[in-house]
Structure 1
Amino acid sequence: MKAARYLLCLLPLVGCARERPVDPLGRHTVIWLYPIDVNRPMIERLVQRFEKENPDVHIDIRAVPGSQYQTKLKTLVAAGEPPDVFVCGDVFFAYLKPFLSNLTDLVRRDAKEIDLEDFYPAVRKAMTPGGHTYFMPQWFNVSLLYYNRRIFDAAKEPHPTKDWTWDDYAQAAKRLTKNGVWGSTVTTGWWGEWLTLVHGAGGNFFDAGITRTTLDSPEAIRGLTFYRDTIREGFAPPPGEGPTTGFASDKVAMDYGGHVGLWATYRQLPSLDWDIEALPKGPAGRRGGEISLTALGISKTSPEREAAWRFLKFMSSKESIRAHVDQGYFAIRRSVGHENRDKGKAPHNRAAVETALETAEPIPSSKDFVEIALNLVQPEIDRMLTENVPPEQAARNATNAANAFLKATNGGAR
């Protein structure tokens, strides 16, 4: 993926003039590039509410398939026609930063209305990289341990607790792997699980200055070894095997690092009796579960910055967050979470989310992280799982490739 370098080379084009749509009612028109997903009906209802409350603003939704979103956004930037509002969040922030408006002045001006203290501390940290605000969050994901209550109860196995260690998790998974049931599953193809385990073992993706990759450290290798051993020790299916729907199949006892965005899906499966717990403690304690935000930012060249800002405030307001909770998401605002709007629905152990947030970490603050993680490191991790490459060798290969890239491109921190 060449997204970071591609976007940065477009900087001279950002200021190009663009023709604005003319609203027949004379309203401010805010163009929002929206990735189509299952939330579209909810999003359209929220836009209607916003326009009713702000009759002088029209939100022009330009919907594109989610899989094509980044390509479409880059194309619009290259043409000098970036949308006023687009989805960013912390994962893609580092290479989108040159095109985002710094919203810190607006946040300070409207501090009482926004009430940043209502967001969880880990969310506030993730939404203010470098101490500045470039986007406003709608919902978040944090790494958790998902477990199937029915499978545990049928095996007379005690449910996971927040005091579990890696060994408790592995031993329970081994005991539960029988009669067509897997004790756990492995998330492949991206960093979601293995980087969490690297952190839990005391390792890091980069050094403190984000000048080199450090996945070849003894701690990082220990985390990668545990990741590999979930398959080698037989309690998680190898890539390409096991139930195609994973934890949702009702044939997997646990999912390490599952996604909050799947709550709505799980709730629609009547036979799936599930709950959550904070991730088990690794050698470095409970450290490094990922937190990631889905958020909206404003183009730095938008002629409708104030109108777009009103829309961002609305989409992060209590009214909007309540709609997200009704859709199946965990409330990003504490005050909305305490309303218990989805009381009685799984997951029941909501305290696990707050426990996880205490030690959750955003992805490394590097414009090169996504490209390095997916294109250089991930292939070595995959070979470790599928070709029996020793973790030590996979870690060295990944580290050497990543550091060669950083040296060649003069990459590093934001």
Structure 2
Amino acid sequence: MIRLAGMLGVILLLTGACMALEPSSTPSPEQVSITFLISGDPADEEAYRALVEQFMVEVPAVRVELLNIPGQGDFRRRLTADFAAGTPPDVFLINYRRYGPLVARNAIAPIDGYLAQSAVLRREDFYPQALEAFTWRGELMCMPQNMSSPVIYYNKDLFDAAGLPYPANDWRWEDFVTTAQALTRDWDGDGTIDQYGFGVEATLVRAAPFIWMNGGEIVDDPTAPTALTLSAPASREALAWFVDLQNSHRVVPDAVAEAAESSLSRFLHGRLAMLMESRRVVPEFRRIEAFDWDVAPLPQRKVPASILHSDGFCIAAASLHREAAWQFVEFANTRAGQSILARSGRTIPSRTDLAEDPTVLDPQARPHNTRIFLDAVPTLRTFPALATWADIESAVDAELKQAFYGQISLDDAIAAATVRSAEFFSQRE
């Protein structure tokens, strides 16, 4: 498969011939029509559609066509194809870990100037961690809509049945492993585990917080990296602990079990006690009626650490309606706009003035321990801002997954990831 960074290499050659996407219906002569591309499940689409509809009430001169491509892989392929064809969406929502190739090829219109002139938005309104994630060489490129950190979702009913206390806010790695072991059960004694204690994706974005909280680093220089540092003692120790959750402790489904049913599905059906995920799963989890659940912070080690999850509204440089696109982005990031999205439960707003708002900290809505997302903010770190970071991350993920499922040794995985990623560090500009 052609890599995202490589596929986007044609953008500069094609942006001169870009055309706006045709709307599904003809707007009135007074209207400007723009397209807005997202990737989400039905709950996400419902929330963004509510945002779009309210914007069009507030600004009737601009019509927004919402396009949802479920599945991140399909979304990135669609975005790449649209840019290559010269018909990019006017506005699109993308994670900061994925926007590097577009920014490096000048395919995204900077928004520093728009923000500076805005009468309703101020830079001070937003968490600096979210703004920094979308800052490229000192310039703000996209408007961060949300922020989150991975947490531990847990099934309270399974904890109760096992006679275990709910996770404490200051629990440690050792507490976590012991808890996961106690919640991993072969109920009928046939040698097959029926209930797993923990579920997690074998990816760098999931392992990173544990590396950092153990005092390790992922790269040699966070601002101008030239190589991975996963073989350094503190980093390797954290990775060993991470892969041992499956290899040694067997509290995580193995490769066959995960392929048969994802950990997410197991949690939804009450057969998984704990799951590491970001805020994005909350709308789906709020539909759970068979059991009660809540969230706990990641178990800690030497220093507090977590990783930022943030999506930003980006405006295509090739858009023929940048002013209208900014009007939409601007409204979406007002207090009113972010409140619409926060009500879905999917996001922790990037606006600081919504942190204590009942929209976010609703005591009647699950998770009841939402404050842990806010408590994690000072500990949030990000991956490096590189045009080729998505390729580096993909190379590490492929090797880490094999180590996690016992198909190769951890040292072999680290060595292979280091070699495979080297070419992308050399192409990082």
TM norm structure 1: 0.89
The amino acid that maps onto 1:218 is: P
Residues 312-331 of structure 1: CA distance to partner in whole angstroms, max 9, x if unpaired? Answer: 01112222222222212243
Hey, what's the Cα distance between the residues in 2 that align with 1:234 and 1:131? Answer: 45
**Are residues 316 and 78 of structure 1, via their aligned partners in 2, closer, same or farther at CA, if it must alter by over 3 Å?**
same
Hey, what's the Cα distance between the residues in 2 that align with 1:121 and 1:250? Answer: 38
Q: Are the equivalent residues in 2 in contact too, given 1:107–1:133 (CA < 8 A)?
A: no
User: SS at the partner of 1:60?
Assistant: strand
Does 1:221 pair with 2:221? no
Structure 2: runs of 5 or more not aligned: 188-193
CA RMSD of the aligned region, Å? Answer: 2.3
Percent identity over paired residues: 24
Does 1:54 pair with 2:59? yes
**Are residues 129 and 150 of structure 1, via their aligned partners in 2, closer, same or farther at CA, if it must alter by over 3 Å?**
farther
User: SS at the partner of 2:294?
Assistant: strand
Hey, what's the Cα distance between the residues in 2 that align with 1:235 and 1:386? Answer: 12
1:297 corresponds to: 314
User: SS at the partner of 1:29?
Assistant: strand
How many angstroms does 1:95 deviate by? Answer: 0.8
User: SS at the partner of 1:275?
Assistant: strand
Hey, what's the Cα distance between the residues in 2 that align with 1:82 and 1:141? Answer: 27
Q: Are the equivalent residues in 2 in contact too, given 1:90–1:362 (CA < 8 A)?
A: no
1:358 corresponds to: 378
2:93 corresponds to: 87
Hey, what's the Cα distance between the residues in 2 that align with 1:267 and 1:367? Answer: 36
2:143 corresponds to: 136
Does 1:119 pair with 2:126? yes
How many angstroms does 1:310 deviate by? Answer: 0.7
**Are residues 237 and 8 of structure 1, via their aligned partners in 2, closer, same or farther at CA, if it must alter by over 3 Å?**
same
Q: How does 1:195-214 map to 2 (within 5 A)?
A: 195-208=208-221, 209-214=224-229
How many angstroms does 1:226 deviate by? Answer: 0.7
User: SS at the partner of 2:140?
Assistant: coil
**Are residues 131 and 46 of structure 1, via their aligned partners in 2, closer, same or farther at CA, if it must alter by over 3 Å?**
same
Q: How does 1:233-382 map to 2 (within 5 A)?
A: 233-241=249-257, 244=262, 245-256=265-276, 258-283=277-302, 285-287=303-305, 289-332=306-349, 333-341=351-359, 342-374=362-394, 376-382=395-401
Structure 1: runs of 5 or more not aligned: none
User: SS at the partner of 1:4?
Assistant: helix
How many angstroms does 1:388 deviate by? Answer: 4.4
Q: Are the equivalent residues in 1 in contact too, given 2:332–2:338 (CA < 8 A)?
A: yes
The amino acid that maps onto 1:325 is: A
1:159 corresponds to: 166
TM norm structure 2: 0.87
Residues 22-78 of structure 1: CA distance to partner in whole angstroms, max 9, x if unpaired? Answer: 743222222323446312233233222212211221223345454432222222222
The amino acid that maps onto 1:45 is: A
User: SS at the partner of 2:424?
Assistant: helix
**Are residues 61 and 271 of structure 1, via their aligned partners in 2, closer, same or farther at CA, if it must alter by over 3 Å?**
closer
1:173 corresponds to: 180
User: SS at the partner of 1:202?
Assistant: coil
Q: How many correspondences in the alignment?
A: 404
Hey, what's the Cα distance between the residues in 1 that align with 2:51 and 2:20? Answer: 27
**Are residues 271 and 255 of structure 1, via their aligned partners in 2, closer, same or farther at CA, if it must alter by over 3 Å?**
same
Residues 178-203 of structure 1: CA distance to partner in whole angstroms, max 9, x if unpaired? Answer: 34432212323x33322332223222
Q: Are the equivalent residues in 2 in contact too, given 1:126–1:292 (CA < 8 A)?
A: no
Q: Are the equivalent residues in 2 in contact too, given 1:212–1:406 (CA < 8 A)?
A: no
**Are residues 124 and 17 of structure 1, via their aligned partners in 2, closer, same or farther at CA, if it must alter by over 3 Å?**
closer
